[in-house]
Amino acid sequence: MEAIALFSTVQIGGRTATNRLVINAMEGNDADQDGNPGPKTYRRYGRLFEGGAGVVFLEAITLTYESRARLNQLSILPHNQKALEQFVLDIKKINPQPLFIWQLTHAGELSSPDFSRRVCVKPLPGYGGDLLSEDDVFGKRNLQHSGS
């Protein structure tokens, strides 16, 4: 009886998932140098959409290229708009039914100082980083990235 519930629809806000199978976010770190989905990103999500889950979460996609956790992390900035729109169109051609939920992220004090700026709202023991300014919080910084 419980297996039947797994394959029944479920309302999430104003949307309906065709079943209760959910693919959680799994960061692949395989975006191109500008933070756009790369070939491995396409292959991974293509397979996930083929699988028929009702909900698929996109991995951590950074809101700021300046402070990120991974070098090849997906990015959601103005320069990524066309590539992300095409990615969604291509993935939805495989299977239009799954709800596609995006995990927006800012790495903050977990940003890698090897290639980005580590920031924090309050210093975290063992990590540190620059304290966030009002410009950081209200988006006056990092309107573009320096990846290309």
- The interaxial angle of helices 39-50 and 81-94, nearest 10 deg, is 30
Which residue would you say has higher pLDDT here, 130 or 36?
Answer: 36
pLDDT tens readout for residues 110-125: 899 899 999 888 877 8
Per-residue pLDDT of 11-51, as tens digits, reads 999 999 999 999 999 999 999 999 999 999 999 999 999 99
Question: Domain limits of the chain?
Answer: 2-107
pLDDT at 140: 59
Pairing of strands 55-62, 22-23: parallel
What is the pTM (predicted TM-score) of this model?
Answer: 0.84
What does the chain look like in DSSP terms, one character per residue?
A: -HHHHHTS-EEETTEEESSS-EE---------TTS---HHHHHHHHHHHHTT-SEEEEEEEES-SSS-SSTT-EE-SGGGHHHHHHHHHHHHHH-S-SEEEEEEE--GGGS-TTTS--EESSPPTTT--EEPPHHHHTT-S-SS----
Question: Phi/psi class of residue 139: alpha, beta or left (left: φ > 0; alpha: ψ in -120 to 50)?
Answer: left
Residue 139 is predicted with a pLDDT of 63
- What pLDDT is stored for residue 84 in this prediction? 98
Mean of pLDDT over the chain: 89
Confidence of residue 3 (pLDDT cuts 50, 70, 90): low
Give the model's pLDDT for residue 4: 85
> What distance in Å separates the CA atoms of residue 113 and residue 45, rounded to the nearest whole number?
29
- Main-chain phi, psi angles of 55, to 5 degrees: -135, 135
Q: What is the mean pLDDT of residues 53-63?
A: 96
